[in-house]
Structure 1
Amino acid sequence: MKLFIPDRAYIDPKSLEYDVGKFAKEQLEKLNIPIIESKKVSIEGKSPSENYAKAKKTIYLTVNKEKKLRPCSPSADYQFSLSSSCPGHCEYCYLQTTQGEKPFMRVFVNIYEIIDVIQEHIDKNLPNITTFECGSITDPVALEHLTGNLKRCIEFFGNSEKGRLRVITKFDNVDSFLDINHNKHTKFRFSINTKYIINKFEHNTASFEERMRAACKIASSGYPIGFIIAPIMIYNNWKYDYNELFNELKSQLGSHKEEITFELIQHRFTATAKELILTRFPKTELDLNEETRQLKWGPYGKFKYVYPKEQSSEIKDYISDIIQKNFSNSRIEYFT
């Protein structure tokens, strides 16, 4: 797919004290993107949906001063951020409730300070290996062409004896990562789903075919790879479509001998997320019927609506069976 190009960029003047900030500004100038130096971002739409759409085309170069990283179970020990929000317009996204009504993209330019914080967490956990997730509140691949920050992180972890990185993406601009001496210390996981779900709900992201080509490139470059199947939805012909998904995945990666991991996440939503989704996507065809779901207490202090136990078990058993039949080198990390 085409690289993401913002409509407007705000730059915190402090970010220009960093080399990455200067580099990112140069890239934006080459693209003739309007630039405003300011410590605030101003987005004034005529409606909540317009605010959302405008925010998704706005970036803000700034710094990340986070010193204590948050846990990231079950994916990794900790999470850190190279940016926040992403160019994708996934209707179901769990970030609907955490990014505010104007989810513009904060792009952090103080990469070496971020790496210093990562190293501190590695040192505190010695002699154990410490794992880090960098895609919890963003898609780091989607914005890579503006900063090169993810490449720097992969290089850092490639030289780290006790640090490991996990990357998650729905985008396909991976060529800048193919020649890095990563030492298998960075694991790429591609978020995939049935073509119906991708085409219906995952707007402004790479297509299924584009993600497959990117995954094959990454696998051929020796990275550990995995796939996040999320959100798994029940709809007409869902079993047929998921079976087709894994058949196509096998045809693309059937010769891959290394382990392939899978993370399985059923569709869920909170009452707050539902309200925002219906505001931003008034014509959505997402199944947000609370009466057909059951409540589950979430790790961040909110109830979420998930499939009832019988349907949840059916999803887990069916998807797990397909994976095991198609990939003898597979490992399912979790189902939630």
Structure 2
Amino acid sequence: MPASDGRRRAAALALAGALVVVAVALALLLPGRTAGPPSGAPSPSAVSPSARGGQTTTPSPGASVPVQVTDTPEAGETPVQPPVTVPPLTEPEPTDIPPQPPAPGTPPQPAPFPESLRGQDLTAIPAAGRVVALTFDAGANAAGLPKILSTLSAKGVTGTFFLTGNWVANNQAAVAQIAAAGHRVANHSMTHPGFTGLSNDQIAQQVRGAEQAILAAGADPRPLFRFPFGERDARTIAAVNSLGYVAVRWTVDTLGWKGTSGGISAQVVADRVRAGLQPGEIVLMHIGSNPDDGTTLDADALPQVIDNIRTAGYGFTTLDALLAR
């Protein structure tokens, strides 16, 4: 055989061998491969039975079986925990709650006073020693107030002022002035009526009305009360006590409110106080002027009144001395 023929035969055998290798490789790769939907599209067999109305399908031989994803982790895999719902934080209740102001229209709680004072309309301060309480009623006008406050300040004396609600409404600045000077403020009813002719409900309205007016003006009258005109009985005293007030009368009335038209002078005022002098004496004076002659005799006599009391060896107190018993 010629040499060229041998080379052609060897080349053909080599090519045939290569084709056999390729065919075998293809044979190994192609079995079990089927046409399927584009990547990302679900296979019909991947649809759950519930999605098909409960009908179960069996995949054909050679078809790929989709992997079912469940909530059960594989071995060694850290499970994914569902999100936890955290309840909102609640602030702890405070252990020390500051007192709240009463709702509008709610009367304040009654201020306490010694039980021994219940049922009385006091005419002196019991066991007070050699002291005198100067008290000033305000129900008409404030004509004598500037002179009274000036004298008390100059003499270094503190007094007790019984105010009506109506007077407070007309003299708001005066109430603040009295309180700022360190004087004691007390309740003298709302409109200054006689109390024995009032029902218990009307008494409550009078007392509470004045109380609210005085509180609104920046002072606190509790628990001291004086009956208008000094008119009282056992029922009205009990009614006032039930509202948290102790009733306070007086030892001596200066009668300065009568004015010169009533036969009184500043000297008469001073003499009446000195004549009634005793331990725990309560002196009744008035702020307003006489409606007929316009005089303010209590304000005029006050410097001499104070000097006479001190000359007799007495000092001064407010009606808060009643509450210290």
Q: Could you tell me the TM-score, scaled by structure 1's length?
A: 0.27
Which has the larger share of strand?
1
Q: Could you tell me the TM-score, scaled by structure 2's length?
A: 0.28
Which one has a bigger Cα radius of gyration? Answer: 2
